[in-house]
């Protein structure tokens, strides 16, 4: 069977010809690289990648197929997938279909036979840029012309649920604000017996408060935190009302903004499953799963009621924050892993403990008031 040609053109003018897999057509997005050796199913379905073309640096992709378990949301969210070698014949006892079939079903374009390490070096040198993958005939000028128009900036509203839903549990009552939450976050909360209400990204504070949560978890999500309308105001009120709060990735960035800190776009971000992070209190190093292209500006936290709890070993980026007075903390990385190491799941225990302590404290305060 002859293979269909696909072309990838980057904003810097470099172009690559490869073979198509998955769907045919054309897709434009921000090109980013992920260094995980495994975990492509979780990466493809992580809503934080909405709008992005993901390059895998590991050279063989597709070899274990697609299974029924490793979904981080119901469908792939990336706008395109770039690999060196696509494995035609997957083999794994859990595999239900090939990656090619999966991408075809969901109309996502893949391109194989690409020098992904060269692209990665380009992105590292020049920073993240726009790119186009197409199976149509195209010359470079036409492609670059198409890359002129700005990318969308409403990603969170595209991936967030429209109606809230509730999952019962006997433990702490958590409101999970869905900016594009990964299934792994829900799994960690349910494993700890929480009752979870997942609410749309633009749910206002009154509605959250009326759910009487023991705590609020701000999820991960795609795009620039500054594009998420209304989130900062809601989070400010959660903090002012001393409702225990845990922010993950985009949730961490929004938590920082709500406290007067600033965020910035990184040159090429952190995406992979072995990013070393130091916990400043203990000097312990954790290997973490990461996927972010923005970060909290280091200097901006100095005049805020926040303290830095974790930093990235590789480049000193802020990776964790805690509020100095309110029961609230956040991390830039992914304690739910998926893909990646589970070393940081203790942060969910820390959140549960924080909710319990606050409940006790409020009960005690109420009792002494009644005396």
180 phi, psi to nearest 5 deg: 135, 45
Report H helices in 106-230: 116-126, 140-146, 155-159, 183-191, 205-210
Q: In the annotation, is 334 catalytic?
A: yes
Q: Which of 30, 42, 334, 358 is catalytic?
A: 334
Which of 260, 267, 263 has its CA nearest to residue 250? 263
| Number of separate helices (H) and strands (E) present in the chain | 10, 19
Nearer to ligand GLN, 11 or 214 (CB): 11
H/E run at residue 175: strand 173-178
Nearer to ligand GLN, 219 or 309 (CB): 219
Token pair listed for 165: 């839903």
Contacting residue, 39, 51, 222, 244, with ligand GLN by CB under 6 A:
222
Which listed range, 128-136, 214-222, 233-241, 356-364, lies at the site for ligand GLN (CB under 6 A)? 214-222
Q: In the annotation, is 336 catalytic?
A: yes
CB of 7 to ligand GLN, least distance (A): 26
Nearer to ligand GLN, 20 or 198 (CB): 198
Contacting residue, 6, 10, 235, 250, with ligand GLN by CB under 6 A:
250
Contacting residue, 102, 294, 329, 348, with ligand GLN by CB under 6 A:
294
Our finding on whether 292 is near ligand GLN (CB under 6 A) is yes
CB of 153 to ligand GLN, least distance (A): 11
Q: What's the rounded Cα separation, in Å, for the pair 81 and 103?
A: 9
DSSP conformation class of 315? T
Q: Which residues are annotated as a binding site for L-glutamine?
A: 48, 221, 223, 250, 253, 291, 293-294
Contact 73, 46 (CB under 8 A): yes
Contact 244, 351 (CB under 8 A): yes
Residue whose entry in the numeric block shows the structure tokens 């299974």: 67
Nearer to ligand GLN, 84 or 292 (CB): 292
CB of 258 to ligand GLN, least distance (A): 15
Upper half-sphere CA count for residue 319 (Cβ side, 13 Å): 27
Q: Which of 11, 188, 336, 358 is catalytic?
A: 336
Contacting residue, 221, 244, 247, 320, with ligand GLN by CB under 6 A:
221
Neighbour count for residue 141 (Cβ, 10 Å): 10
DSSP conformation class of 97? B
Q: In the annotation, is 194 catalytic?
A: no
CA distances to 52, 109, 190, 251, 276 from 79, in Å: 5, 7, 30, 22, 28
Which listed range, 58-66, 103-111, 197-205, 221-229, lies at the site for ligand GLN (CB under 6 A)? 221-229
Q: Which residues are annotated as a binding site?
A: 48, 221, 223, 250, 253, 291, 293-294
> How many chain residues touch ligand GLN (CB under 6 A)?
11
With H, G, I as helix, E, B as strand and everything else as coil, classify residue 145.
Answer: helix
Residue whose entry in the numeric block shows the structure tokens 């924080």: 354
168 contacts: CB under 8 Å, gap ≥ 6: 195
Nearer to ligand GLN, 116 or 220 (CB): 220
Contacting residue, 249, 273, 311, 337, with ligand GLN by CB under 6 A:
249
- One character per residue 32-61, x = contact with ligand GLN (rule: CB under 6 A): ----------------x-------------
Q: Which of 194, 249, 270, 292 is catalytic?
A: 249
Residue whose entry in the numeric block shows the structure tokens 């299934």: 183
Active site residues: 249, 334, 336
Which residues in this chain contact ligand GLN in the complex, by CB under 6 A?
Answer: 48, 220-223, 249-250, 291-294
């Amino acid at each position: 069977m002859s293979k269909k040609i696909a072309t990838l053109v980057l904003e810097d003018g470099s172009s690559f010809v490869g073979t198509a897999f998955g769907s045919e057509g054309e897709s434009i997005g921000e090109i980013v690289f992920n260094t995980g050796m495994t975990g492509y199913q979780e990466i493809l379905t992580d809503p934080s990648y909405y709008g992005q073309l993901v390059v895998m640096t590991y050279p063989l992709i597709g070899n274990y197929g697609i299974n029924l378990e490793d979904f981080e949301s119901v469908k792939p969210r990336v706008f395109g997938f770039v690999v060196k070698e696509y494995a035609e014949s997957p083999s794994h006892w859990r595999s239900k279909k090939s990656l090619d079939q999966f991408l075809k079903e969901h109309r996502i374009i893949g391109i194989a036979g690409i020098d992904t390490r060269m692209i990665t070096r380009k992105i590292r040198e020049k920073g993240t840029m726009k790119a186009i993958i197409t199976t149509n005939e195209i010359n470079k000028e036409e492609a670059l012309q198409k890359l002129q128009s700005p990318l969308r900036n409403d990603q969170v509203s595209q991936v967030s649920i429209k109606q809230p839903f509730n999952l019962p549990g006997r433990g702490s009552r958590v409101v999970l604000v869905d900016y594009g939450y990964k299934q792994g976050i829900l799994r960690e909360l349910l494993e700890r017996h929480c009752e979870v209400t997942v609410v749309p990204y633009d749910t206002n504070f009154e509605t959250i408060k009326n759910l009487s949560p023991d705590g609020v978890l701000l999820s991960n999500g795609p795009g620039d935190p500054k594009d998420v309308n209304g989130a900062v105001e809601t989070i400010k009120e959660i903090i002012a009302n001393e409702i225990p709060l845990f922010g993950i990735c985009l949730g961490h960035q929004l938590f920082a903004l709500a406290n007067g800190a600033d965020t910035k776009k990184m040159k090429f971000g952190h995406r992979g499953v072995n990013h070393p992070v130091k916990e400043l209190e203990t000097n312990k190093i954790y290997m973490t799963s990461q996927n972010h292209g923005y970060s909290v500006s280091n200097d901006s936290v100095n005049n805020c009621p926040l303290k830095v709890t974790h930093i990235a070993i590789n480049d000193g980026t802020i990776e964790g924050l805690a509020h100095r007075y309110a029961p609230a903390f956040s991390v830039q990385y992914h304690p739910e892993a998926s893909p990646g190491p589970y070393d940081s799941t203790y942060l969910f225990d820390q959140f549960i403990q924080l909710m319990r302590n606050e409940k006790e404290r409020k009960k005690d305060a109420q009792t002494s008031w009644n005396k």
